[in-house]
Amino acid sequence: MGKALMIQGTSSGAGKSLLTLALCRILTNLGYDVVPFKSQNMSLNSAPSIEGGEISRAQYLQALACRKKPSVKFNPILLKPEGNMRSQVVFMGKPIGAVSAREYMLSTKEGLFKKAMQVLNELLEEHDVVVIEGAGSPVEINLKDYDIANMRVARYVNAKVILVTDIDRGGSFASIVGTMELLSEEEQELVMGFVFNKFRGDASLLKPGFDYLEKRYGKKVLGVIPYTEHKISEEDSLVEFPKIKGDLHIQIVKLPHISNFTDFEPLHWANGVDYVTKAEEIKGDLIIIPGSKNTVEDLLWMRENGIEDSIIQAHRDGAFVVGICGGFQMLGEKIIDNIESKRGEVRGIGLLKAKTVFAETKRTNHLKAEILWEPVRGLNIEGYEIRMGRSISERPFSIIREINGAKAFEPEGAVGERVFGTYLHGIFHNFEFTEQFLNMLRLENGLEPISVGRWSIEEEIERFSRIVAENIDLGLLMKLLDLE
């Protein structure tokens, strides 16, 4: 039977996801067979699993840290907020319906928890270590009785718990003490130590606080992780939608149901991006309509708020327009949706000659494609798709050459005059494409070409994990886990 190590936090954004990722890589590098697990995650940033299902991007990255293919087993329950206090429930990678927060809490989640624990037991039987990520805080008084992601999981598998806190926010010692005081004695026994995250300064100055925690609870501080810049996606709750006008004014429409906005991180690093929500703000050199959890509702929101008209006018004035996934569907001539919004046929923005019909089954795949769009024709790119829609266009953006490693020949996306749409999430993580595309726009605007820095998620995971390994008491951690 494998060991269960669980990372819980004093709050959302304390650093659970990244510490879990780092410990996954550290233990994997030491030769252990490791996998991640999170019973329930709420996120609009998802990724394809090896089974063709959908999991949170956090568990996807943690799987890569373990050098494992991402599986739905690592994130059995995924909640995708739809607004109006409702969320789509994805179980073992497949949507099983949408429920209100109250309905989910009082009825749905208990049955799913039992199934999720069966999955966790299987993982513990098959692997040396399962590194489990908690959710939010384990001691929210109004939620603790309904918890299926924190101490209830730890109790179920007798996990050793590390409690992590974000010292950069301030109040970290009070957060740890408050969390410990609200845990039961049984739960306090499961906590094996504390980690302080995002520290700037001399860690020796924290010693009086460490001594206090050890005297009061008999638990040691296992590490102090320095504040570290990285390119690993953070959890949704940490995302700040920036308003940066770079050399090129790249604007992204912040839709009410925006999803997979990690697509635009390379644009942020290379130039800066400006998220907009009002019609009068639309005036960029490049305007992007991103993916959406509810394509038709977000299209109608843009129509009602004048953003659609502003995009059309900006396009007439010379702006380049791009749509990704749901954004691509909106840019077409019509959408027929009897599945998601059930509004039937809806007029699209009309900048692309494309038609979309929503289907019952969701496509969730890793893709390799060859671009047909003339400025970068023949360029090979990679990405992934998570979509209900099926679109037809006479001028596709690319040809899909591989689906989950199997050969394919399937047109996707659409091209128009100074506009394209594609289903490929992650397209801008293809750095050669991003560099050529941005430099095309820079040349039009009289700007010098730039070189877009190349990096890999593997390098970022290894670099960040090495920093964590250098700043935790790994010997003590291994001893407490009985992995000496």
Please report, for residues 249, 303, 366, 470, 480, the alpha-carbon distance to residue 160 in angstroms, rounded to integers and kept in the order given. 48, 52, 35, 21, 8
DSSP letters for 444-455: HTT-----PPP-
According to the 3-state scheme, what is the secondary structure of 72-106? HHHCCEEEEEEECCEEEEEECCEEEEEEEHHHHHH
Q: How far apart are CA 148 and CA 134, in angstroms?
A: 9
Residue 72: name the closest of 90, 89, 98, 87 by CA.
Answer: 90
- 127, 257, 315, 425: which is the annotated catalytic residue? 425
DSSP lists the bridge partners of residue 87 as: 81, 99
Q: CA–CA separation, 297 vs 286, rounded Å?
A: 23
Among residues 377, 382, 484, the alpha carbon closest in space to that of 431 is found at 382
- Which one is catalytic: 24, 66, 257, 325? 325
Please name which of 219, 162, 216 lies closest in space to residue 14, comparing C-alpha atoms. Answer: 162
235, 252 contact by CB (below 8 A): no
List, as one string, the DSSP characters of 345-361.
Answer: EEE---SS-EEEEEEEE
**Kind of pairing between the strands at 398-403 and 380-393:** unpaired
| Both tokens assigned to 294 | 């509810």
257 is catalytic: no
| Contact residues for 167 (Cβ-Cβ < 8 A; gap 6+) | 196, 197, 198, 199, 224
Gap between the Cα atoms of 43 and 378, Å rounded: 34
Q: From CA 416, how far away is CA 422, in angstroms rounded?
A: 12
Q: Is 315 a catalytic residue?
A: no
Contact in structure between 352 and 333 (CB atoms under 8 Å)? yes
Q: Which of helix, strand or coil describes residue 477?
A: helix
Residues 111 and 120: their CA atoms lie apart, in Å, by: 15
Q: Cβ atoms within 10 A of the Cβ of 50, count?
A: 16
| Residue labelled with tokens 């010692």 | 173
Residues annotated as catalytic (active site), given as ranges = 325, 425
